[in-house]
Chains A and B, each alone.
Chain A
Amino acid sequence: MANPLQQFEIVPKIPLEVGGYDISFTNSSIWMVVVLTLAAGIMFLGVRKMSLVPGRWQNLAELLYETIEETLVSSAGAEARKFVPIMLTVFLFILLANLVGLVPYSFTVTSHIIVTLAMALVGFSAIVIIGFIKQGPGFLKMFMPSGVPIPMLILLVPIEIVSFFIRPITLSVRLFANMMAGHVLLKVFAGFVISLGVFGIVPLIGIVAMTALEVLIAVLQAYVFTVLICVYLNDALHAHH
């Protein structure tokens, strides 16, 4: 049976090395370029022929934009509106990476924790910086739950600090684990189809159902990642209560 983890293998396509670092252009890089091209393509088609009565592509672009704008404003307030472009970019990238990964023979960029962690850390660092710009040293007050007796603070402040710093990790693990688990499961079941012969129809039906579920998860996880960054952004923009 084929190794179910083989699909996650990184293969250098154009070997490159700069200053002792391996920065080869890999299959992962290729699919990132594909995803970015698709994202840019959708938006380009969406704004090419702008009209009062939107066509299909404009409708899609407007729908995406409005969904993200609504999410952002409802979770981080009206002044977060200026972050709509970056959040839309993040959402589109993850969404398309997840969906493109479901196409046979493709590669799921988001099934590697290094990709999701890099995105989460960039978002997290940006939020910390924005927090200090907006609130100054008062940003640190979010580690101090108000209305708590001082002896309890010795216990609560470390908990708050840890719970703050695990955010980028939960964010990235959630996305990567969901994508990877789904793909491994599909591959394992696909192996059963062949080894069970005629009875392989049973896992085959399972795969069909699971593929539908994977599409749902792909969309949901992209959305969850975006929503959570919006929620964290709220902490940076508004003082904690």
Chain B
Amino acid sequence: MSDELEEQKLDARLEQLRRERQIRDEATRTAGRAMGIGFRIGIELVVGVAVGAAIGWALDDWLGTRPWIMIVGFLLGFAAGLRNVFRSVEKYDRKWTEAEAADKRQGKDE
């Protein structure tokens, strides 16, 4: 009888440890992912502006319209950079919202 009790206790402890570890793993993974995203989107904006302006500069050289196309290219590049940032964040946002909703559902079940 007491053996069974011990076993039950052990199972409970094991279960608790497993759950704690899962939470910890999840936290590390989220932090790592967030850092990855941060690294990704930072450059996006800078390069957008630089490339837009450079394309404009080259077209100005070719068409002799300095500085107008460069100004347009600058703005277009900025918009394109923002668009890329938005696009990459959008996907993660959707994923996170889904994960959160799933967590809530699970919480209710227990």
A interface residues (Cβ-Cβ under 8 A, vs B): 158-160, 162-163, 165-167, 169-170, 173-174, 177-178, 217, 220-221, 223-224, 227-228, 231
B contact residues around A217 at 8 Å (CB) = 39
Distance of A158 Cα from B79 Cα, bound (Å)? 10
User: What are 24 A-B contacts with C-beta separation under 8 Å?
Assistant: A160-B80, A160-B83, A162-B52, A162-B76, A163-B80, A163-B84, A163-B87, A166-B47, A166-B48, A166-B52, A166-B80, A167-B84, A169-B47, A170-B47, A170-B84, A173-B46, A173-B47, A220-B35, A220-B39, A224-B39, A224-B40, A227-B36, A228-B40, A231-B88
- Number of interface residues, chain B, beta carbon within 8 A: 21
* Residue B43 at the chain A interface, CB threshold 8 Å: yes
Residue from the set B48, B87, B88 with the largest chain A CB neighbour count within 10 Å: B48
A contact residues around B71 at 8 Å (CB) = none
* Residue B60 at the chain A interface, CB threshold 8 Å: no
Distance of A224 Cα from B77 Cα, bound (Å)? 22
Interface residues of B in 42-80 (CB under 8 A from A): 43-44, 46-48, 51-52, 55, 76-77, 79-80
Distance of A170 Cα from B56 Cα, bound (Å)? 18
Shortest Cβ distance from residue B92 to the other chain A in the assembled complex, whole angstroms? 11
Closest A residue to B54 by beta carbon equals A169
Supplied contacts A159-B80, A165-B51, A217-B39, 6 more A-B pairs, CB within 8 Å = A159-B76, A163-B79, A163-B84, A178-B39, A224-B36, A224-B39
Distance of A228 Cα from B87 Cα, bound (Å)? 12
A contact residues around B40 at 8 Å (CB) = 174, 224, 228
A contact residues around B55 at 8 Å (CB) = 162
In the complex the two chains form, is A174's CB within 8 Å of B39's CB?
A: yes
Shortest Cβ distance from residue B65 to the other chain A in the assembled complex, whole angstroms? 17
Q: Which 4 A-B pairs have the closest CB atoms?
A: A163-B80, A162-B80, A174-B43, A170-B47
Distance of A223 Cα from B48 Cα, bound (Å)? 22
Distance of A228 Cα from B55 Cα, bound (Å)? 24
Closest B residue to A174 by beta carbon equals B43
Shortest Cβ distance from residue B107 to the other chain A in the assembled complex, whole angstroms? 25
Known: A170-B43, A177-B43. A162 touches B36 (CB 8 A): no
Closest A residue to B79 by beta carbon equals A159
B contact residues around A174 at 8 Å (CB) = 39-40, 43
Closest B residue to A165 by beta carbon equals B51
Distance of A223 Cα from B36 Cα, bound (Å)? 9
In the complex the two chains form, is B77's CB within 8 Å of A166's CB?
A: yes
B contact residues around A167 at 8 Å (CB) = 84
